[in-house]
């Protein structure tokens, strides 16, 4: 029934509480592939492209002021944070594969809720399984909820797992 399952993970133990459910679903439903996804927010930095230099002239002719250094913005996140996420997901994929579940890893850049929703639709996944902090009221409003945003924006079925120790109504 569920051939492809997307599992968003952020490196926290809370997010990993969904893994036992994923294992049981994958075994019981004959899942062909579990796709572990982590989203790194895009970080933009400045990188100089060219440096303008003054020509050396023997005559004392006034030269115009140097042009400001040309600067372009480049995503920096494709470096260290992306590699950390890839290593993290690879460790979990190995654990799943040790239990006979085929897993692959995807590291995405951007807004977590948006990227998870877009990736799930493009990959043709049948199910998203993810954990939720179980916040409600002002704390959910203040901190936001990636799980809630994915739930509201995705047409793919979602299995939402409450965090261990969740207290109803809080």
Of 7, 8, 40, 43, give the one whose Cα is nearest residue 24.
7
Q: What is the mean pLDDT of the chain?
A: 81
Tens of pLDDT, residue by residue over 107-147, are 999 999 999 999 999 999 999 999 986 655 554 444 458 88
| pLDDT at 170 > cutoff 60 | no
pTM, two decimals, is 0.74
Give the phi and the psi of residue 105 in degrees, each rounded to 5.
-120, 140
The string of pLDDT tens digits covering residues 158-169 is: 999 987 766 665
Residue ranges covered by each domain of the chain: 4-44+75-162
**Do the beta carbons of residue 153 and residue 113 sit within 8 Å?**
yes
**Per-residue confidence (pLDDT) for residue 103, from 0 to 100:** 97
The whole-number pLDDT of residue 141 equals: 46
- Mapped onto helix, strand or coil, the DSSP state of residue 17 is coil
Helix/strand/coil for 44:
strand
How far is it, in rounded angstroms, from Cα 59 to Cα 7? 68
Which residue would you say has higher pLDDT here, 61 or 91?
91
Question: Which of 38-47, 55-64, 90-99 holds the top average pLDDT?
Answer: 90-99
The topology (CATH level 3) of 4-44+75-162 is Rossmann fold (3.40.50)
């Amino acid at each position: 029934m569920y051939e492809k399952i997307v599992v968003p993970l952020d490196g926290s133990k809370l997010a990993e509480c969904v893994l036992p459910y994923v294992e049981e679903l994958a075994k019981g439903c004959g899942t062909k592939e579990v796709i572990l996804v982590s989203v790194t927010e895009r970080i933009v930095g400045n990188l100089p492209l060219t440096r303008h230099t003054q020509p050396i002239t023997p005559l004392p002719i006034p030269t115009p002021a140097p042009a400001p250094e040309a600067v372009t913005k480049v995503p920096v996140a494709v470096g260290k944070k992306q590699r950390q996420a890839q290593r993290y997901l690879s460790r979990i994929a190995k654990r799943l594969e040790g239990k006979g579940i085929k897993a692959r890893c995807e590291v995405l850049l951007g807004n977590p809720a948006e990227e998870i929703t877009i990736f799930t639709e493009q990959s043709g996944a049948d199910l998203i399984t993810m954990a939720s902090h179980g916040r409600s009221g002002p704390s959910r409003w203040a901190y936001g909820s990636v799980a809630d945003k994915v739930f509201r924006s995705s047409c793919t079925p979602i299995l939402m797992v409450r965090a261990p120790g969740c207290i109803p109504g809080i």
